[in-house]
Amino acid sequence: MLHDTQSQRDARGIPIDRVGVKNLRFPLRIRDRDQVEQSTVATVSLAVDLPHQFKGTHMSRFVEVLHAHGHELTVASIAGMPLALMKKLNSEKAHVEFRFPYFRTKKAPVSGAEGLLDYGIVFAVDAEADRVDFVVTVEVPVTTLCPCSKAISARGAHNQRGVVTLSVRFREPVWIEDLVELVEASASSGLYSLLKRPDEKFVTEQAYDNPVFVEDLVRNVALRARAHPQVTWFRVEAENFESIHNHNAYAVIEERLGGE
């Protein structure tokens, strides 16, 4: 019989909050709002707590739990994974995180030319006893145009690309596409991977007609998140990569919605 060193007792009396594996790449299939299955690759982190009396955990068991759930990613399978880790490793807490690129086909606003645009997605789940906390995060690139610049300039106004990071908790599962569209509607304009000249004219003028400060951007997202019937908590962070400054503009709002 091989000696199980991890199960030895530890005399230092220090519990570990999280121990496990991270940066494990894993192929996934995820179903989108149109019920089409797309393949992607996630970077996975899996962890549990470790009581003070144990020397170590069994790293192979994390990978076993991951593989036992198969390659198709659903909210239900992700939500159940921390509970499976707790049972497999005799722990009281568990954490699971999946980070992956998610692609959408997006049509240019005038020509209708199609191109793929990628968004960063994070599914993070924490479990303790029978309580499961699931947070979905979307990272959405946008265009913003400065209202002050528009007000004081005789010709044009400076604009910039930014990233909005929206995290939500929910009553019932929400579609990634719904969260992406919520954010894009809050900016001066969305981004596209493919634009012809008529499209570029449209997007430029759309941004000019809808100027927003970074403060406006997070407030716009907050109003739409409040109105979403399934969202119970949100955190929205916006960062603009300023085009005429050597710094970025930044704002954040976090809010727990009523009834929760």
Contact status, residue 118 vs residue 102, Cβ threshold 8 Å: yes
Residue 118: other Cβ atoms inside 10 A: 14
Query: What is d(CA 104, CA 140) in angstroms, rounded to the nearest whole number?
Result: 12
Per-residue pLDDT tens digits of the chain, which is 260 residues long:
655 566 667 778 888 989 999 999 998 888 888 878 888 999 999 999 988 777 777 888 999 999 988 777 777 788 889 999 999 988 999 999 999 999 999 999 999 999 999 999 999 999 998 899 999 999 999 999 999 999 999 888 999 999 999 999 999 989 999 999 999 999 999 999 999 999 999 999 999 999 999 999 999 999 999 999 999 999 999 999 988 888 999 999 999 997 55
Residues spanned by the domain of 149: 5-256
What CATH code is carried by the domain that includes residue 156?
Answer: 3.10.270.10
Q: What is the pLDDT of residue 3?
A: 56
Q: How many CA atoms lie within 13 A of 68 on its CB side?
A: 13
Give the list of residues 6+ apart from residue 230 with CB closer than 8 angstroms, or none: 170, 171, 172, 173, 174
Q: What is the pLDDT of residue 240?
A: 95
Q: What is the pLDDT of residue 223?
A: 97
**What's the burial of 122, exposed, middle or buried (CB within 10 Å: 0-12/13-18/19+)?**
middle
Q: What is the pLDDT of residue 138?
A: 98
Q: What is the pLDDT of residue 35?
A: 75
Task: Specify the number of domains making up the chain.
Answer: 1
Identify the three-state secondary structure at position 98.
strand
Q: What is the pLDDT of residue 129?
A: 86
Q: What is the pLDDT of residue 77?
A: 83
Q: What is the pLDDT of residue 258?
A: 72
Contact status, residue 192 vs residue 203, Cβ threshold 8 Å: yes
Q: What is the pLDDT of residue 4?
A: 58
Residue type present at position 78: I
Task: Write out the two tokens for 46.
Answer: 């899996």
